[in-house]
A and B are shown apart, each in its own frame.
Chain A
Amino acid sequence: MIALRRFLRTPEAVAGALILAALLAMALSAPWFFPRDPQSIAGPALLRPFQDWTLPLGTDRLGRDVMAGLFHGARASLAVGLAAAAGAILIGAVVGTLAGFAGGLLDEILMRITDAFQTVPGFLLALAFVSVAGPSLATVIVAITLGAWTGPARIARAEVLSIRERDYVAGARVIGMHPLEIAFREILPNALPPVLALSSVIVAAAILTEAALSFLGLGDPNRVTWGGMIAEGRAVLRSAPYLSIIPGVALVLTVLGVYLAGEGLVETSATRRMNA
Chain B
Amino acid sequence: MSDFAISRRGVLAGSTFLLASTALPAALRAQTPTNGGRLIAAADSEPRNLNPAIIASNGVFFVASKIVEPLAEASFTGKDGLEPRLATSWEGSADGLTVTFKLREGVTWHDGKPFTSADVAFSALQVWKPLQNLGRVVFKDLEAVDTPDDHTAIFRFARPTPFQLIRNALPALTSVVPKHLYEVSEIADNPANTAPVGTGPFKFAEHRPGEYYRLEKYDAYWGEDQPRLDEIIYRVLPDRAAAAGALEAEEIHLAAFSAVPLADLERISKVPGIGVISKGYETLTYQLVVEINHRRKELADRKVRQAIAHAIDKEFVVKTIFLGYATASTGPVPRNDVQFYSSDVPTYAFDVAKANALLDEAGYKRGEGGTRFALKLLPAPYFNETKQFGDYLRQALAEIGIDAELVNNDAAAHQKAVYTDHTFDLAIAPPVFRGDPAISTTILVQSGIPDGVPFSNQGGYANPELDALIAKAAETLDPDQRIALYVDFQKMVAEDLPLINVAEWGFITVARSSVKEVSNNPRWAVSNWADTWIEG
Contact of A235 among B241, B391, B398 (CB under 8 A): B241
Residue of A with least CB distance to B384:
A235
Assuming A62-B320, A217-B408, A222-B406, is B391 touching A39 (CB within 8 A)? Answer: yes
Residues of B within 8 A of A218 (CB): 408
Minimum distance in angstroms from A45 CB to a CB of chain B: 5
Q: Is the CB of A62 within 8 A of B392?
A: yes
Q: Which of A48-56, A173-181, A237-245, A256-264 lies at the interface?
A: A237-245
* Cβ-based interface call for A63 (8 A): yes
> Which of B53-61, B249-257, B260-268 is the interface stretch?
B260-268
Q: Are B240 and A235 in contact (CB under 8 A)?
A: yes
Partner pick for B261 among A62, A135, A222, A235, CB 8 A cutoff: A235
Kindly state whether residue A11 has any CB partner on chain B within 8 Å.
no
Q: How far is the CB of B344 from chain A (nearest CB, A)?
A: 32
Query: When A135-B408, A217-B408, A221-B406 are in contact, do A40 and B398 touch as well, CB less than 8 Å?
Result: yes
**Does B108 have its Cβ within 8 Å of any Cβ on chain A?**
no
On chain A, the residues within 8 Å of B408 by CB distance are: 135, 217-218, 221
In the bound complex, CA of A236 to CA of B320 (Å): 13
Asked whether any CB of chain B lies closer than 8 Å to the CB of A6, the reply is: no
| In the complex, residue of chain B having the shortest beta-carbon distance to the beta carbon of A222 | B406
Looking at the complex, which one of A37, A217, A235 makes contact with B395 (CB distance below 8 Å)? A37
**Is B263 within 8 A of A235, CB to CB?**
yes
Check A240–B241 contact: CB distance below 8 A: no
Is B366 part of the binding interface, using a Cβ–Cβ cutoff of 8 Å? no
Check A239–B264 contact: CB distance below 8 A: yes
**In the complex, chain B residues whose CB is within 8 Å of the CB of A63:** 320
In B360-398, the 8 Å CB interface with A consists of 381, 384, 387-388, 390-392, 394-395, 398
Least Cβ distance of B40 to chain A in Å?
21
Within 8 Å CB of A221, what residues of B? Answer: 390-391, 406-408
Question: How many Å lie between the Cα of A63 and that of B321 in the bound state?
Answer: 10
Would A61 and B406 count as touching, CB distance under 8 A? no
Chain B, range 245-290, C-beta contacts under 8 Å to A: 261, 263-264, 266-267
Which residues on A sit within 8 Å (CB–CB) of B394? Answer: 39, 222
- A221 to chain B minimum Cβ distance, whole angstroms, is 4
Asked if B3 is at the interface of the complex by the 8 Å CB criterion, the answer is: no
| Chain A residues, CB < 8 A from B261 | 235-236
Main secondary structure of the interface of B (DSSP, over half): helix
The answer to whether B189 has its CB under 8 Å from any CB of chain A is: no
Asked if A131 CB lies within 8 Å of chain B CBs, one says yes
CB-defined contacts of A238 to chain B, threshold 8 Å: 241, 244, 264, 267
- A interface bracket (residues with beta carbon within 8 Å of B): 20 to 34
Q: Are A61 and B320 in contact (CB under 8 A)?
A: yes
Q: Tell me the complex Cα distance, A40–B391, Å.
A: 9
With a CB–CB cut-off of 8 A, which chain B residues contact A61?
A: 263, 320-321, 388
- Bound CA span A46–B381, Å: 23
Say if the beta carbon of B410 comes within 8 Å of chain A. yes
How many Å lie between the Cα of A37 and that of B407 in the bound state? 18
Q: Which of A62, A217, A240 has the most CB of B within 10 A?
A: A62
A134 at the interface (CB under 8 A from B): yes
Structural contact, B407 and A39, CB atoms closer than 8 A: no
Once the chains are docked, how many angstroms separate the CA of A154 from the CA of B236?
43
Is residue A24 contacting chain B, with contact meaning CB distance below 8 A? no
Q: Are A239 and B388 in contact (CB under 8 A)?
A: no
The interface residues of chain A lying within 8 Å CB-to-CB of B395 are: 37, 39-41
CB distance from A244 to the nearest CB of B (A): 10
The A226-276 residues at the B interface (CB cut-off 8 A) are: 234-240
Closest B residue to A132 using CB positions: B413
- Tell me, rounded to whole Å, the shortest Cβ–Cβ distance linking A136 to chain B: 9
Q: Is B531 an interface residue (CB 8 A)?
A: no
CB of B285, distance to nearest CB on chain A (Å): 23
Assess whether B478 is interfacial by the CB under 8 Å rule. Answer: no
Q: Which residues of chain B come closer than 8 Å to A135, judged between CB atoms?
A: 408
| Measured CA separation A135–B387 after assembly (Å) | 15
In angstroms, Cα B190 to Cα A197, docked, is 60
The residue among B263, B266, B320, B410 with the most chain A CB atoms within 10 A of its own CB is B263
- What residues of B have a CB within 8 angstroms of the CB of A235 in the complex? 240-241, 261, 263-264, 384
Residues of A within 8 A of B266 (CB): 239
Q: Is B405 part of the binding interface, using a Cβ–Cβ cutoff of 8 Å? A: yes
Closest residue of chain B to A135 (Cβ to Cβ) is B408
Q: How far is the CA of A234 from the CA of B245 in the complex (A)?
A: 13
A276 vs chain B, min Cβ distance (A): 52
Contact check, A236 vs B264: say whether CB atoms are below 8 A apart. Answer: yes
What is the minimal beta-carbon distance from A229 to any residue of chain B, in angstroms? 12
Closest Cβ neighbor of A63 among chain B residues:
B320
- CA–CA, A218 to B264, complex, Å? 25
Cα–Cα distance between A236 and B381 once the two chains are bound (Å): 18
Residue in A134, A222, A239 whose beta carbon sits within 8 Å of that of B267 in the complex: A239
Which single member of B264, B320, B390, B409 contacts A45 (CB below 8 Å)?
B320
A201 to chain B, nearest CB (A): 30
Shortest beta-carbon distance from A84 to chain B in Å: 21
Task: Name which residue of chain B comes closest to A131, CB basis.
Answer: B410
Most buried by B among A218, A234, A238: A238
Whole-angstrom distance from the CB of A138 to the nearest CB of chain B? 14
How many Å lie between the Cα of A146 and that of B387 in the bound state?
29
Tell which of A37, A63, A222, A234 has the most Cβ of chain B within 10 Å: A222
| Nearest-neighbor residue (CB-CB) of B405 within chain A | A222
Interface string of B230-250 (1 = CB under 8 A from A): 000000000011001000000
How far, in Å, is B274 (CB) from chain A's closest CB?
A: 13
Cβ-closest 9 pairs across A and B: A221-B406, A236-B263, A235-B261, A221-B408, A45-B320, A239-B267, A40-B395, A222-B406, A238-B264
| 26 cross-chain CB contacts under 8 A | A37-B398, A39-B394, A39-B395, A40-B395, A41-B392, A45-B320, A46-B263, A62-B321, A63-B320, A131-B410, A134-B407, A217-B381, A217-B387, A218-B408, A221-B391, A221-B406, A222-B394, A235-B263, A235-B384, A236-B264, A238-B241, A238-B244, A238-B264, A239-B263, A239-B267, A240-B263
- Interface on B for A, CB 8 Å cutoff? 240-241, 244, 261, 263-264, 266-267, 320-321, 381, 384, 387-388, 390-392, 394-395, 398, 405-410
Taking Cβ atoms with an 8 Å cutoff, the residues of A that contact B are 37, 39-41, 45-46, 61-63, 131, 134-135, 217-218, 221-222, 234-240
Further contacts, 12 of them, CB under 8 A, given A235-B261, A240-B263? A39-B391, A41-B395, A63-B320, A134-B409, A217-B408, A221-B390, A222-B394, A222-B406, A234-B241, A235-B263, A236-B263, A237-B241
